[in-house]
Every structure is written in C-alpha cells, then in structure tokens.
C-alpha cells in the first residue's frame, strides 16, 4: 500500500507528475533551499522510492517505521541533528506521512 500511496502522490517511475502533491512538495522544498532540491530531502527520497517501488523495503510502512531499516537510520540522524526530535516537514515525517496516504508535513 505504501508504494501505491507514493505513486498516487505523484512520485512515479517516469518522474514527478505535474500538478500533483509531489510537484507542490518539490516546489516548496526548492524555494526553502534556495532553488534546488537537496539530496536526501523529502522530494528526492520519495522520488527514488516512487521510481523503484521500494517504500516498504526501505522501512516506511503502514504500521510505522521498521527498526533497523533505512527509515530508522534516517529518523535517528534527523533526531540527533535536531536535539532529539524529528522535525515536522523533515524527511522522516514527510516520507512516512505520504507512505501512509497523507499529505506530508508542512514547513
């Protein structure tokens, strides 16, 4: 289900779908980053997963983040960088939200 949610949001094997949640997220992230989408950010992470269909195997599941997975590693690094919490609108919260069918965190 998570891969389907990511694709429905507009992250597809052929790229980001115009007018989608994915294109809106990409635009917001590019503006916040001064014009580019950073590697490892929500947009690049979700697009990689949408292209490969690897959301669940990366640890972003409908039950939450799987221990010992890429997702848990990302969450740990993000929490450490932010003093112990995972920020709203960060990579972990946005990818997990969209994987579960949500609209991601707002910055």
Say whether both 85 and 63 belong to one domain. Answer: yes
Residue 51 belongs to a domain: yes
Task: Specify the pLDDT at position 1.
Answer: 61
Say whether both 20 and 50 belong to one domain. Answer: no
Residue 66 belongs to a domain: yes
Tally the domains of the chain.
2
Residue 104 belongs to a domain: no
Residue 17 belongs to a domain: yes
Tens of pLDDT, residue by residue over 30-63, are 999 898 898 888 999 999 888 988 877 888 888 8
Residue 44 belongs to a domain: yes
Q: In which element (H, E) is residue 42 found?
A: helix 42-52
Residue 45 belongs to a domain: yes
Domain carrying residue 70: 38-99
């Amino acid at each position: 289900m998570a891969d389907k949610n990511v694709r429905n949001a507009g992250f597809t094997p052929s790229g980001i779908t115009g007018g989608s949640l994915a294109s809106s997220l990409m635009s917001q992230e590019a503006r916040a980053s001064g014009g580019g989408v950073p590697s490892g950010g929500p947009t690049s992470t979700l697009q990689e997963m949408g292209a490969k269909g690897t959301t669940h195997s990366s640890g972003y599941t409908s039950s939450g983040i799987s221990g010992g997975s890429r997702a848990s590693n990302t969450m740990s690094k993000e929490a450490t960088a932010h003093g112990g919490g995972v920020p709203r609108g960060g990579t972990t919260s946005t990818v997990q939200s969209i994987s579960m069918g949500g609209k991601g965190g707002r910055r």
